[in-house]
Amino acid sequence: MVAIYLAPVYLLVCVYILLRGLHWIQVLHAVFQNVWVCRGIGLIYLFVVFSILIAFMAPASGFRRFMKLLSNYWLGVLMYTIMTVGIADVLRLLLKYPLKNLNFPGRTLLFGNVGTAVVGIICAVIITMVSIYGVINAGNIQTTKYDISIDKKAGKLDSLNVVLIADLHLGYNIGCRQMEQMVEKINAQDPDLVVVAGDIFDNEYEALEDPDRLAEILRGIQSKYGVYACYGNHDIQEKILAGFTFGGKEKKESSVKMDEFLEKAGITLLRDEYVLIDDSFYLYGRPDYERPGRGIDERKSAQEITADMDLSLPVLVIDHEPGELQELADAGVDADLCGHTHDGQLFLGNLTIKLMWENACGYLKKGDMHSIVTSGVGLFGPNMRVGTKSEICDIMMHFK
């Protein structure tokens, strides 16, 4: 329903940008004043504007993949177009009316066609540069290192090298190329354990570029104790329209094909359960807070998680959303490893996300518990990262 209410706003914004853009290019050159040229530009623009709806309605095919990618790039460009053009128009109004009755050299140039052309060029350059940077930056996976100490004995282990990844969002934006880079980065850390904190998929199993090849790439992760995962809020089968979901009130669950994919990829899925690894430490995988998935009506509380554990051993938890930090710390959890936030993914989101989570991204000590939230490997929606980074986290844990 929210998508329906926001649709008129989206269309009005797009019309506003079209009118401002046509005005600018008509000032730049007389050829753009031709009515047929303007109509041609308008038709191409409308095709891009409605690419979101076309991708949503099209059946699974190469055409749908193209339209989905086009719409994801468009959403990022649109965001920075709104910001840039909006700021330019506000500044123009703030300057124009106070200076309206003042006669000074260059006034005609400033508020005439020359001024419009210059401002338009500046805006176009900013939008283009930010968009290109966002696309390039999104494809560059970085490694963030952490070094923590847990005041417990861990069997025969003095330390444990854990690589945390999350938010792969395998689908239209993320495919084989990104996974090959990610696996290479992971193996370079020589990990003892690899954990995946949810959102492995991007809502549609059919969106996977090449499931067999992707599973083969992920099987290439080299880890002493293996690869474990929990599901996130996007590890379900449903269609997405501009970030909004549909499907009524029925329970949202993962596709059986998603579960089978993880088995083929050599990834062990933990569904509100734990494993005791090498008689040295516990690893617990929590289902998503909002969408716990198949067979789980309500996930276990923090106290229930550790009720049957020997708390003299380290307890590591992978949870998609970084919530209930105090509850987990009180329950005896030593490290809570999460994703979900993408660190906002795009500026200004990287600023506002900090208002929503106690630990929106990075490291936080909560009592004796270490909370680490990764900004993730993949993307949701706009195929860009601005002000944030795609990352894997290499966490060296030292024990008593």
pLDDT at 61: 87
Q: What are the tens digits of pLDDT across the range 50-102?
A: 999 999 899 888 899 999 999 999 999 999 999 999 998 888 877 766 655 55
Mean pLDDT of 146-151: 97
Which band of pLDDT confidence, cut at 50, 70 and 90, is reported for residue 40? very high
400 vs 153: CA distance, rounded Å = 5
196 vs 376: CA distance, rounded Å = 10
Whether the CB-CB separation of 321 and 338 falls below 8 Å is answered with yes
CATH class of the domain whose range is 142-399: alpha beta
Tokens representing residue 123 in the block: 């805006």
pLDDT at 27: 85
pLDDT higher than threshold 90 for residue 190? yes
Residues 6+ apart with CB under 8 A from 85: 17, 20, 123
Q: What are the tens digits of pLDDT across the range 295-309?
A: 888 899 999 999 999
88 vs 295: CA distance, rounded Å = 53
71 vs 382: CA distance, rounded Å = 8
Name the one residue in this structure whose structure tokens are 């000074």. 104
236 vs 248: CA distance, rounded Å = 14
Which band of pLDDT confidence, cut at 50, 70 and 90, is reported for residue 106? low
Question: Phi/psi at 382 (nearest 5 deg)?
Answer: -50, 130
Closest alpha carbon to 391 in 221, 195, 144: 144
Which band of pLDDT confidence, cut at 50, 70 and 90, is reported for residue 183? very high
243 vs 331: CA distance, rounded Å = 35
Long-range contacts of 180-186 (CB under 8 A, 24+ apart): 180/217, 181/139, 181/141, 182/141, 182/377, 182/392, 183/217, 183/218, 183/220, 183/221, 185/141, 185/143, 185/392, 186/221, 186/222, 186/223, 186/392
pLDDT higher than threshold 80 for residue 252? no
Which band of pLDDT confidence, cut at 50, 70 and 90, is reported for residue 109? low
Residue 189: Cβ-neighbour burial (10 angstroms; 0-12, 13-18, 19+): buried
DSSP 353: G
Long-range contacts of 3-9 (CB under 8 A, 24+ apart): 3/241, 3/242, 3/244
pLDDT higher than threshold 60 for residue 108? no
Residues 6+ apart with CB under 8 A from 70: 48, 51, 55
pLDDT at 164: 98
pLDDT at 3: 64
pLDDT higher than threshold 80 for residue 243? no
- Does residue 313 have a cis bond before it (omega within 30 degrees)? no
200 vs 207: CA distance, rounded Å = 12
Tokens representing residue 275 in the block: 């494993």
pLDDT at 111: 58
Q: What are the tens digits of pLDDT across the range 326-346?
A: 999 999 999 999 999 999 999
pLDDT higher than threshold 60 for residue 210? yes
Residues 6+ apart with CB under 8 A from 90: none
Closest alpha carbon to 338 in 294, 388, 293, 393: 393
Strand 273-277: give its sheet, edge to edge.
273-277, 281-285, 315-318, 335-338, 369-373, 362-366
pLDDT at 103: 60
Q: Amino acid identity of 273?
A: E
pLDDT at 306: 97
Which band of pLDDT confidence, cut at 50, 70 and 90, is reported for residue 376? very high
Q: What percent of the chain has pLDDT over 70?
A: 92
Q: Where are the domains of the chain?
A: 2-136, 142-399
Which band of pLDDT confidence, cut at 50, 70 and 90, is reported for residue 104? low
pLDDT higher than threshold 90 for residue 285? yes
Look at the pTM and tell me if it is higher than 0.75.
yes
pLDDT at 316: 98
In whole numbers, what is the pLDDT of the chain averaged over residues?
Answer: 91
In this structure, what is the dihedral angle of CA atoms 203, 270, 226, 309, given to the nearest 10 degrees?
150
